Chains A and B, each alone.
Chain A
Amino acid sequence: MARVVVDVMLKPEILDPQGQAVQRALPRLGFEGISDVRQGKRFELEVDGPVDEAALTRIRDLAESFLANTVIEDFTVRVDEVAEAAK
């Protein structure tokens, strides 16, 4: 078993009202100096078998067609190094 992480973020030019709402709350909580917050999604995929280039290619296809909507979102795919090291 290995873990692959897919991070999905709204493209920089797309308004993120959730992120803005979080950012506006920060001064009330005593956090100063944070000028912008953007909120995204993280998917952790537990993969059976080896995470070789073929497996990563399939996961990239999955991310591109389903986990992210590439009209509005960017995504990255990576093997979770922490999960790997803990083995």
Chain B
Amino acid sequence: MTARIGVVTFPGSLDDQDTRRAIRLAGAEPVALWHKDKDLKQVDAVVLCGGFSYGDYLRAGAIARFSPVMESLIEQAKAGLPVLGICNGFQILTEAHLLPGAMLGNDHLHFICRDQKLRVENAETAWTGDYRAGQEIHIPLKNMDGRYVADAYTLDELEAEGRVAFRYVDFNPNGSLRDIAGITNEAGNVVGLMPHPEHAVEPLVGTGRTDGLPFFTSILKKLVNA
């Protein structure tokens, strides 16, 4: 039996299929979860994918945070279930206070879509073990609300504890404080980032590179070796 990784579909999710595909390419079994599911179907990890859950009508991710599936997810994430939030998923994780800080509209007010260079700062989370610390990768970024903010105390704490997992390199696409592209919780099981690793897992599409695939092989290895 291989690892089962859940992907939650909210109304407005866009990247659930790509995410399931990336999980399959990495060798794990993707499990579709629906926002009304209270039961996580005994998955070994969960990905909250990109999109515009519930239209982002209040704030990005704010309504999704109160969906039935999140009740179980919040409880289990606190108990150690690995959770990866990509883009809208990252926004949901901050709204759920599983990750500190908040996401705001890009400082230039525009939607942005580009190949983004990132530095992997922390290669010891559940989702980054197949990278090297300091490694630079290119993966697509596409968002409206990608500006990570937190108070100075929280930012200092994140830096001191090595919890800034990814940083934008050469270009900050949204005004994120301290060029933060992604962070992890203290235990390293919950990770959120704005750019989209699931769109960079096959050489044919996206950046033409497969720099995003290690996210999914990392978690698979972690689960299989656990």
Residue A40 is within 8 A (CB to CB) of chain B in the complex: no
User: By the criterion CB–CB under 8 Å, are A15 and B58 in contact?
Assistant: no
Q: Interface extent on B, as a size class?
A: 20 to 34
Question: In the complex, which of the residues A13, A14, A21, A67 contacts B104, with contact meaning CB atoms closer than 8 Å?
Answer: A14
User: By the criterion CB–CB under 8 Å, are A21 and B66 in contact?
Assistant: no
Residue A18 is within 8 A (CB to CB) of chain B in the complex: yes
Known pairs A14-B149, A15-B175; A69 contacts B62 (CB<8 A): yes
Residues of B close to A17: CB separation below 8 A: 105-109, 175
Closest to A72 in B: B102
Residues of A close to B106: CB separation below 8 A: 17
User: By the criterion CB–CB under 8 Å, are A15 and B107 in contact?
Assistant: yes
User: By the criterion CB–CB under 8 Å, are B66 and A66 in contact?
Assistant: yes
User: By the criterion CB–CB under 8 Å, are B62 and A66 in contact?
Assistant: yes
Residues of B close to A72: CB separation below 8 A: 102, 104, 149
Which residues of chain A in 16-60 are interfacial with respect to chain B, using CB atoms and an 8 Å cutoff?
17-18, 21
Closest to A13 in B: B151
Residues of A close to B107: CB separation below 8 A: 15, 17
Q: Is the interface of B mostly helix, strand, loop or mixed?
A: loop
Residues of B close to A10: CB separation below 8 A: 104
Distance in angstroms from B175 CB to nearest chain A CB is 7
Known pairs A17-B107, A21-B109; A71 contacts B66 (CB<8 A): no
Residues of A close to B101: CB separation below 8 A: 71
| Measured CA separation A66–B65 after assembly (Å) | 9
User: By the criterion CB–CB under 8 Å, are B105 and A18 in contact?
Assistant: yes
| Measured CA separation A18–B145 after assembly (Å) | 13
| Measured CA separation A18–B106 after assembly (Å) | 10
| Measured CA separation A15–B109 after assembly (Å) | 12
Closest to B109 in A: A17
Residues of A close to B175: CB separation below 8 A: 15, 17
| Measured CA separation A15–B147 after assembly (Å) | 10
Residue B94 is within 8 A (CB to CB) of chain A in the complex: yes
Residues of A within 8 A of B (CB): 10, 13-15, 17-18, 21, 66-67, 69, 71-72
User: A14-B149, A15-B147, A17-B108 known; 5 other A-B pairs, CB under 8 Å?
Assistant: A66-B58, A66-B62, A66-B66, A71-B100, A72-B102
Residues of B within 8 A of A (CB): 58-59, 62, 66, 94-95, 100-102, 104-109, 147, 149-151, 175
| 26 A–B pairs (Cβ distance < 8 Å), ordered by A | A10-B104, A13-B151, A14-B104, A14-B149, A15-B104, A15-B107, A15-B147, A15-B149, A15-B175, A17-B105, A17-B108, A17-B109, A17-B175, A18-B105, A18-B109, A66-B58, A66-B62, A69-B59, A69-B95, A69-B102, A71-B94, A71-B100, A71-B150, A72-B102, A72-B104, A72-B149
